Amino acid sequence: MKVGAVIITMGNRPDELRALLDSVAKQDGDRVEVVVVGNGSPVPDVPEGVRTIELPENLGIPGGRNVGIEAFGPSGRDVDILLFLDDDGLLANHDTAELCRRAFEADPQLGIISFRIADPDTGVTQRRHVPRLNAKDPMRSSRVTTFLGGANAVRTQVFAEVGGLPDEFFYAHEETDLAWRALDAGWMIDYRSDMVLFHPTTAPSRHAVYHRMVARNRVWLARRNLPAPLVPVYLGVWLLLTLVRRPSRPALKAWFGGFREGWTTACGPRRPMKWRTVWRLTRLGRPPVI
């Protein structure tokens, strides 16, 4: 199976980007073709053979990755698998691409693989980087219902069937939107602890827009994908969870502003998942109300 890789960058991590590209070049098996997308910024110097695209404006994470997908032909059809990697990450092992090939070849239903993210110094995997409710054992691989945006592999046939990432989200929850559409189309998602991306431990709230976009996109996610009776349940649960976590007053103000924005702005096409998909998500351990 042919493997490509999409990396988006703001141009502010040239050393980390070069290290990541070197780790991709060292992958076992056939060469992984790489496209680096400068998301509203110039692309730093890259090794020969790495394709680059420089966008005149920042399209956000999903928008930038969608440009990278199309660089491999419509819906990425020039390759069978696309890796999506954060520009400050690093593939820990040389066999990750080969493990992806084997996994997709062995399981025709497998559409997406979520890698394990580990801190390069401590080896610790943060709880939030294990895409399931039971996250206490990051070394356990399993079927899951979503995936990690900057450390994953997608069978390009998934994009051909359900479309790409939601451009309008810009940042936050775009992976779950794609995951739910893929699951609704019959694909499965695996979390693989043996496929590792080293990435420095960070907090998502470091982004200034975090609280507003998390809330806005959570509403959009529900409006786009859930059967009507589940929309208020899902959003009510997340409202309660947010209050229980007791964010700061400015963070809570931003969150409620985003929540309101999610109801008053266009979210894109609504395609509610089938009730059998709701049951599938429930059997996989994460019913779409949390």
What does the pLDDT read at residue 209? 85
What does the pLDDT read at residue 203? 75
The predicted-structure confidence for 278-287, as pLDDT tens digits, reads as follows 999 999 999 9
The verdict on pTM exceeding 0.75 is yes
Average per-residue pLDDT for the chain: 96
The predicted-structure confidence for 153-204, as pLDDT tens digits, reads as follows 999 999 999 999 999 999 999 999 999 999 999 999 999 999 999 999 887 7
What does the pLDDT read at residue 232? 98
The neighbour count for residue 28, using CB atoms within 10 Å, is: 12
Nearest to 194 by CA among 128, 284, 95, 121: 95
* C-alpha radius of gyration, the chain, whole number: 18
Nearest to 189 by CA among 96, 286, 60, 57: 286
Q: Is the pLDDT of residue 208 over 90?
A: no
Start-to-end C-alpha separation, the chain:
35
List, as own/partner pairs, every contact residues 95-99 make where C-beta atoms lie below 8 angstroms and the sequence separation is at least 24, other chains included.
95/27, 95/28, 96/27, 96/195, 96/196, 97/3, 97/24, 97/27, 97/28, 97/29, 97/32, 98/27, 98/28, 98/29, 99/192, 99/194, 99/195
Q: Which DSSP string corresponds to 45-100?
A: P--TT-EEEE-SS--HHHHHHHHHHHTTSGGGTTSSEEEEE-TT-EE-STTHHHHH
The predicted-structure confidence for 127-137, as pLDDT tens digits, reads as follows 999 999 999 99
The predicted-structure confidence for 49-95, as pLDDT tens digits, reads as follows 999 999 999 999 999 999 999 999 999 999 999 999 999 999 999 99
Provide mean pLDDT across the span 221-244. 97
Q: Which DSSP string corresponds to 240-262?
A: HHHHHT---HHHHHHHHHHHHHH
The predicted-structure confidence for 3-36, as pLDDT tens digits, reads as follows 999 999 999 999 999 999 999 999 999 999 999 9
| Dist. CA 236–CA 282, nearest whole Å | 18
Tell me whether strands 188-198 and 90-91 are parallel, antiparallel or unpaired.
antiparallel
What does the pLDDT read at residue 98? 98
